[in-house]
Chains A and B, each alone.
Chain A
């Protein structure tokens, strides 16, 4: 009894011409048969090294999430520090001192005709500065802090897919001054946090990036199907709590920020192929490290197979207690997460659930100019991560806090099974 073999090839080749060259064919086979042993002699019988192959990845430097106009709104300090101090060169030198284990990094532009297609970048995705004023026992002090967050991204420029993302530690450096902090001091702090140290810690964000790159796996093959955040809807009940600078930007900057956080969380926690929300500056800079090929890049990204639509329904602050020591409030984030299959005949829902996350935060008395926005922002990021990590089990605090009744819970997990299948189909 024979075994049936069926081999599928990536491309079906046209074999119809073969009989037409039969006359030449016989002679050619003879010549090739003579030629191939020649290979062996030339190579000295050398056999290829299995698992020895490492991809060359183009160095795209430090990039920023969002469009060019986002720089002044979202990263006013970091973007100027990176430019004025030529931190791209410092980053590259740091990589050379501790090169990654599973890839080779090249500062030169790479030729697509040589098969190269991966670029990597240190993507700065948030910069926050808080300056406060506290009066204690009739004396006034000025607490202030700077927070930076970034990620390591490896991007496949051919498939327009993020094939690896790794969130670097979120760095927050706090200080208390006897006078209001100067802009120069804040800029110096940002520079230190990027290059030197973080509040006494011996390494800055660049070194964290180099360490993450050192550990990063070889870039994965792009998936034929992928997730992408297609839309972020900011509801009316969220608007009053947004900082003025975000309202003034027409909300696009904020939408990109939320979409990237969601993309990053899905990529990291599910290990799936994801597409960026937009072909923003970071994507363009990574694409710009390549040449060759007959085609030029399109500035639009391909249709994703699974679309994610995130609705930020609103933020809510509920006072809990207030006394001489200070006040305590609940800060809540309310959302809807939808995943739809992006079919040509129309969208098909895979998952659509309302999710919330609420924490109780205390503000000691004497604090002025405190930006409550960061409580909402932190809770939103927590919701995004927990929606990807704490939904597998109905006993997690996150799931209990949703307050689902039995029917709602059953419906949730029925949809979640479909979502898990979708994740599995996009896994790298």
Chain B
């Protein structure tokens, strides 16, 4: 098994935009059982359907975020501002055979904008120090030849909110009196597929001082798929990514998973980089919503 390791310990003292806007497709509907409706009722139903569409999207993709929205954001406020979270939408509004007004919407939801706003709110909360070690592994030897060409953008995607991440592992090694040793950790991962969490937790606590401290062990397992059967020039790889987040004080663990990520590119290296980028972005979203839920 070949592998590369990436450690990411990046400090974000303040909220910073990733500059990466991402819209997603949502669907929602509402049903209003009245015999007569005004234009404002119809508009209200569109807002309701869009709101339900956002909830349904998070219900399918990120239950932590769904829980956060449902419990922390007043529905009326969200509905009032829903149009600002939507780029474009299509409405189908009609009375059904029972005389009810049925409103179906399909929309482009400004997911990254919305989540950045929430992160901004979180930035005023207590800082969380997060020590992240990241590994990329494959069952195929040829990955090792190209591994140095890959960048792992998880730390960049984690930007925003009240997370404090650091890339200075030498500093962490110093702070822990050599207990945190990245080279050893890497060998340990190659040999056993796991790493000891005590040095990680020690590094997180040393960096955080008295504040909240967490560790995260991130692994991307890569499989080469071959070429796309429709576009022979396009190579494909699949990734399965996990992040185990550990509370450095209590050892409480949570595992987040992003499965079935496909990377595509004109070479195996480009496909791998594309897959890593997508998986990192998705995993970062889950990690951030995990911490948002703790607000």
Contact = CB atoms under 8 A, between A and B. Distances in A.
Given A38-B117, A52-B88, A53-B107, A8 B31 contact: yes
Contacts, number: 151
A50 B87 CA distance: 9
A31 interface: yes
Contacts of B52: 9-11
Nearest to A102: B90
Contact of B56 (A10, A24, A28): A10
Contacts of B282: 113, 292
A36 B77 contact: yes
B59 A11 contact: yes
A156 B87 CA distance: 23
B248 interface: no
A53 B232 CA distance: 31
Interface residues of A, number: 63
B230 A29 contact: no
B121 to A, nearest CB: 5
A39 B84 contact: yes
A218 B28 contact: no
B73 interface: yes
B128 interface: no
A3 interface: yes
Nearest to B49: A10
Contacts of B117: 35, 38-39
B291 interface: no
Interface string B38-62: 0000000000100010011101010
Given A21-B71, A49-B88, A7 B81 contact: no
B84 A36 contact: yes
Contacts of A11: 52, 55-56, 59
B57 A35 contact: no
Contact of B26 (A40, A54, A115): A115
B104 A221 contact: yes
B48 A294 contact: no
A114 B32 contact: no
Name the prevailing secondary structure of the B interface residues: mixed
Interface string A149-169: 000000000000000000000
Contacts of B25: 55-56, 114-116
Given A11-B52, A221-B104, A292-B261, A31 B24 contact: no
Contacts of A42: 113
Contacts of A24: 72, 295
A50 B238 CA distance: 37
A29 B32 contact: no
Contacts of B227: none
Interface in A47-62: 47-56, 59-61
B30 A291 contact: no
A115 B27 contact: yes
A35 B88 contact: no
A301 B10 CA distance: 47
Interface in B222-280: 228-232, 236, 238, 257, 259-262, 264, 278
B34 A43 contact: no
Contacts of A115: 24-27, 57, 109
A294 B260 contact: yes
Contact of A50 (B34, B70, B91, B113): B91
Contact of B74 (A29, A55, A294): A29
Interface string B79-96: 011011111111110000
B185 interface: no
7 contacts: A3-B36, A21-B72, A29-B77, A32-B77, A39-B113, A48-B88, A50-B88
Interface of B: 22, 24-34, 36, 48, 52, 55-57, 59, 61, 70-74, 77, 80-81, 83-92, 104, 106-109, 113, 117, 120-121, 124, 228-232, 236, 238, 257, 259-262, 264, 278, 282, 295
Interface of A: 3-11, 13-15, 17-18, 21, 24-25, 28-29, 31-33, 35-36, 38-40, 42-43, 47-56, 59-61, 86, 88-89, 92, 107-109, 111, 113-116, 218, 221, 285, 288, 291-294, 296
Given A53-B108, A221-B27, A291-B261, 12 more contacts: A7-B33, A14-B70, A35-B121, A36-B84, A38-B117, A39-B81, A43-B84, A48-B83, A49-B89, A221-B92, A288-B229, A294-B259
